[in-house]
Amino acid sequence: MFRDLYDAISLLWFWRWPEAMGEVTAVDVERIRDSDGRDTFRLAVAYKFSLGSDGPYAGESSWQPLFFQKKRVLAARHNVRVGQQVPVHYRPDDASVNKLDRRAWINL
């Protein structure tokens, strides 16, 4: 339990962690229905990366725009491709805790 809390809190400063280049392994549009029956859309990107002979490590990040969600997420789906190189930040003491860099979302 404390380990999970530590992992979650440490993600707050992920941009300060070392960076490695990863590869997109899957891209999905997720549709989530809230309790009012409205749909929310987000783009989920799965990726993998290695650190020398360590790895592969894997992770998933998602992007959810504030406005025009469906239109923007569906358009963004075409800008992120399986096999694309993406920057990933990983915690120095445990690379299994990682996050896709914000630059991956800039052109969406």
**Helices and strands, number each (H, E), in the chain:** 2, 5
In this structure, what are the phi and psi dihedrals at residue 107, rounded to the nearest 5 degrees?
Answer: -90, 15
The pLDDT tens digits for 23-67 are: 999 999 999 888 888 888 999 999 999 998 888 999 999 998 888
Of 13, 16, 27, nearest to 82 by C-alpha is 27
Report the number of distinct structural domains present in the chain: 1
Structure tokens at 7: 């992992």
Residue 9: which domain range?
A: 2-105
Higher per-residue confidence, 38 vs 22 = 22
Cα end-to-end span (Å), the chain? 35
Single pTM value for the model: 0.83
Contact call for residues 85 and 23 (beta carbons, < 8 A): yes
In this structure, what are the phi and psi dihedrals at residue 17, rounded to the nearest 5 degrees?
Answer: -75, 165
Tell me what pLDDT residue 90 has.
Answer: 94
pLDDT mean across residues, the chain: 88
In this structure, what are the phi and psi dihedrals at residue 3, rounded to the nearest 5 degrees?
Answer: -65, -45
